[in-house]
Every structure is written in structure tokens, then in C-alpha cells.
Amino acid sequence: MSKKQEPGAAVRATIRDVASAAKTGKTSVSRYLNGEQHLLSDSLKERIGRAISLLDYQPSQMARSLKSGQTRLIGLILADITNPYSVDVMRGVEAACRQEGLTLLVCNTNNELDQEKHYLQLLSSYRVDGIVVNAVGMREAAISTLQQANLPMVLIDRKVANFACDVIGLKNVEATQMMTDHLVQQGFEALLFVSEPATVNTRFDRLRTFLQRMQQSPQLTGEQGEIELYNTEGLDNLLRDFVARHADKHKAVMCVNGALTLQVARAMQRLNLRWGPDIGLSGFDELVWADLAGVGITTLKQPTYDMGVAALRQLVTRIQGNTEPVKDLEFSGELIARGSTAAR
């Protein structure tokens, strides 16, 4: 005995219902749904289309994925969804997914190891076709787990040692030279590069390039400071010491990313330092409020949306069987100069 339908409950149309309404067989309907319409006559295609519309038929994606071996699902793992960089990357990946007819599942790990493991297991259980990983902040243990997943994968903004994987990122050497040269040309004599711990290649490449560039100008002072993102007291002490030791010099601070630029701006306010009149300030990543903060903050804008699009498109080629050697696809950044680095 069939299960009695609850009063008022909607009855979901089946492929058999469509076939009956179109006066054809289920095979023809399946061909219509699976992109084989060239095998059907024009009149039959019209009848099937009309029946699908009339019955509001919605194909079972699970059934289709079991048959094709693909779910048309893409996973996106973000280390920190509150980071504007990650938000723009996500927008690009999602837009490219829509163009490809794919559905995006977004997982925010919040830089927590347990969440990283949980979401990876979850995406695997959903049998996603591939994963895009915005891995900055992600721990090595989680990266190791990703390696073992044997899923097509593209990394954004981070390379992992001994992990053969496509990487989408910024031309860090070019961008750092651009920003450092700007500060030097503006007449700054003492520069402080502030970074979170240089545990990922992106931060290390920017720091190394800064120090190499400063070595080319021995008459100038180039220093580095490493600080945890939310170490407020440590950051205050770092800036206070830098300003005191170079009281007679035109000083500037360069920040390794947008999240740290915000923390440095807050620290300067606590120390009654005005970026622009008192001290220069610049940072990687464009911030939506950068042109509104005081005289404006100079930034190095990354094409994050385009990087997200490129990551998804490269992933699709891997899903489709592309076996070419892995590659790094690097984008140029744009220096947006504002009052925080104006020449005296």
C-alpha cells in the first residue's frame, strides 16, 4: 500500500509523470534532461518542454550525480570570511560557478583546526567535484588532510611545500617593490615593515623583497616587525619604539595585509599618531574605508575578484581531466596612493 499523502502537501512530479504528459517514454525525457536533445525530434522536444513546465518538474540532482559521477558541487574553504580579501575572492568564485552551471558550498573555518577538519570531511561526504582553498591562516595539519583527499584543488594566495597544486596569487615581488619605491620616492627615510608571523610564503616573499629593496638604499633605514594580529599591547610598543628611535626622520609603516593595516591604524590612533602629518602608512589590500580614514590610506589593491574567477576556471579544467603540470597564475596589483604617504 502506498503511503497516504498528507492533506495540503505538494506532490512532486516524477520523470514518469513528465513522460506520460508528453506521451513518450522515460528514455526520451532523460535524453532531453541530459543534454541529448539532438536525438529527439522538434515536436517531441516541444512536448517534453511543455510537460516539464506544466508539472513544474524538478530533476533530482542526487540521481543525476549518481548516474554521471559528478555532483556539480564545488567547495570553497575560507580561513576567515570576515577578511575583505576573502569576501572578494568568494564573489569571483561564485560568479564563475554560475557561468559554469555549478553550485558553490562555502565553508568558513575561522582559522580553527577542528572546523577545518570538519568542513573537509563534510565536503568529501557531499562528493564535491573539486575544492578552491583560500588557505592563508590555515594550519599545516589541515593542508596535509587536503592533500590526502585526492580531489581536484586550487589554492589561492598560498603555496604549500611538497604539495603539487595550482596556485592563484599576486605578483608579490612586483607589488612590494612598487609600494617600497613609492615610499622612497615620497621622501620617507625610515621604513618599518609590519607583518604577522612569516609562516606562509605570501608574507615571507613580501618581507624579503622589502628588505632587499632597502639594501639598495643604504642611506635609508629599513626595519621589520613581527606581531600577532590581535596583540594590541605588542603592536603599540612596536610602533612607539620605532617612532622614538627615529624621531628626527620622516617615517612610514608598511603593513603586510589589510587586516594588519586596520590594527596598525587603530594603534596609531591610540598613540595619537596621525597618518599623513606625523607618520606614513600603507598596506597591502584595498579596504572599503581606506579613502575615508583621515587623509586616506595608501593601499596595494589586489584583483581579488578576478583571482577568484581564475581559480574556479582552472579548477574546472582539472575536473575535466587536464593533466598538465601544475602552475602558478600571478596577477599584478595596483598602487592607490592617498594622503597617508603624501610627500612633505
Of 167, 96, 110, residue with least CA distance to 142: 110
Pairing outcome for strands 221-226 and 251-255: unpaired
Q: pLDDT digit string (tens) for 259-314?
A: 999 999 999 999 999 999 999 999 999 988 999 999 999 999 999 999 999 999 99
Q: pLDDT digit string (tens) for 136-175?
A: 555 666 666 666 767 899 999 887 777 788 999 999 999 9
Beta strands in 91-189 (DSSP E): 103-108, 130-134, 153-156, 166-170
| Coil/strand/helix, residue 60 | coil
pLDDT given for residue 236 in this prediction: 97
Average pLDDT score over the chain? 87
Q: Quote the pTM value.
A: 0.78
